[in-house]
Amino acid sequence: MTRQYTSLQMFIAGAWCAGGTGRTAPVIDPATEEVIGQVPLATTGDLDRAVDAAVAGFEAWRSTPIARRTAVLRAAADLLTERADHVGRVMTLEQGKPLPEARGEALRVADALRWHADDARRAYGRIIPSADDTVLSVRREPVGPVAAFVPWNFPAGSPMRKISAALAAGCSIVIKASEETPGTACEIVRCFQEAGVPDGALNLVFGEPAEVSAHLIASPAVRLVAFTGSIPVGKLLAARAGAEMKPTLMELGGHAPVIVCADADPVTAARRAAKAKFVNAGQVCTSPSRFLVHESLIEDFTAEFVRAADAIVVGNGLDDGVTMGPMANERRVKAMEDLVVDAVSRGAEVVRGGGRLDRAGYFFAPTVLTGVPGDARVMVEEPFGPIAPITAFTDLDDALKTANALPYGLAAYGFTRSSATAERLVRGFDAGILSINHCGGSVHEAPSGGFKESGHGREGGPEGLEGYLVTKRVSHLLED
């Protein structure tokens, strides 16, 4: 095992543990295909202990004064900031992204935790004037123990979005992090443990995803289900939660269109779009993934996009100068190969990349496709990888129809020099996360979430706390 990696255990009721049966799954470095660790897999008994701990932890944490809760969360954020280099290295080893990206992710989630901690102080209720001798009030309270499930693409970002909002609201949480990237989650939980989060308020488990989700969702003690991941799995979990009449927060997949209008600067648009496309090897739910470029600009846009792709340095994320690491696993490489083969069979041209790199690890070349027809799989299925399909349009209304034609509605991007056209794009896109003249993703100060099959609920901003709170209306008749 690689000495730079970390200890992998579950965290239940304030203690680290290996699980009831000792079952494990290998953790693989995607840059070398070497096994670097073994992650423990929970039994149903482990999950029951985690839920019982969350029930007790909820009572302790919700009763903690907000000033103390904020101090504990801020202390955890400070510890994570101090350890960003180490956490980043763990993240790169298990997920593959370049070390500067990984370290930056650790620092960003520490800031997100600080933001949520402070925002919890503003979860106000209100007093409503009444027509009689009653005092009518509205109070906001934590919903209760949360079951959360997160993927592998942002090993720090995805868990922290759930943990920070839940704990800031006063909830307890049982979180199942990805078995492919468990080390980062362990490092994050250590920060909370050392900062003084009460036993049981935060519990970390790993296991067979279907088994864990089914068991936790069915538990009567779990009051909220929060999930980030694919649309098919999100629908399954939402259905299970619905059968138990439990609320859900669903941050699901997307297929973000980029519309480059006739009045845009094609070179600037290509540079900014390409930079966003190849971050995390394109394994981002908000990644720009369909490029609709006005026919008058497509030649210049494509040329600059290709130059940007050529400048990408693909390699082991621990090596200096690398700007794009491997795909997370062999499944993703095979998915990229299939998408390219399909697009070419339908008439697309591969102008850069198009295949895996001939080396150990799950490396796929930054890929640019042109002349991609609308029925190609890469235009209708979320690619979740470093493939950029570029196609021309003539009429902006037609481009918007194309952008909105899919069942996705997470992110969308537009480039224009006109404020009127920008507003037309904002009004026209069916998406919950919009960026004009750049391809910025989610930020912790503002809400992120999708339309249509891309999910419901929001993460980030004051809206991100809403899902973890319940509203009480209190009518108090005053008597002598």
Asked if 219 contacts 41 with a C-beta cutoff of 8 angstroms, the reply is: no
Q: Which of 179, 285, 304, 453 is catalytic?
A: 285
254: which 2 tokens? 């997307």
State the alpha helices, DSSP H only, in 311-395: 330-345, 377-380
* Count of all residues that appear for the chain in the document: 480
Locate all alpha helices (DSSP H) within 3-83, ordered by sequence: 44-62, 66-82
φ and ψ at residue 23, rounded to 5 degrees = -65, 140
The burial class, CB within 10 Å (0-12 / 13-18 / 19+), for 150 is buried
Convert 284-300 to b/e letters by CB count within 10 Å (16 or more is b). bbbbbbbbbbbeebbee
For residue 260, give Cα distances in angstroms to 67, 169, 352, 429. Answer: 47, 40, 21, 13
Active site residue 191: no
Cα–Cα dist 115/461, whole Å: 9
Active site residue 285: yes
Contact 376, 343 (CB under 8 A): yes
3-class SS of residue 166: helix
Q: Which amino acid is at 189?
A: V
Q: Which residues neighbour 12 within 8 Å (Cβ) at sequence distance 6 or greater?
A: 46, 49, 50, 53, 203, 204, 205
Residues with Cβ within 8 Å of 197's Cβ and at least 6 positions away in sequence, in order, are: 61, 72, 76, 167
Catalytic residue among 180, 187, 251, 459: 251
Give the torsion through C-alpha atoms of 358, 359, 360, 362, to 10 deg: -60
* Catalytic residue ranges: 251, 285
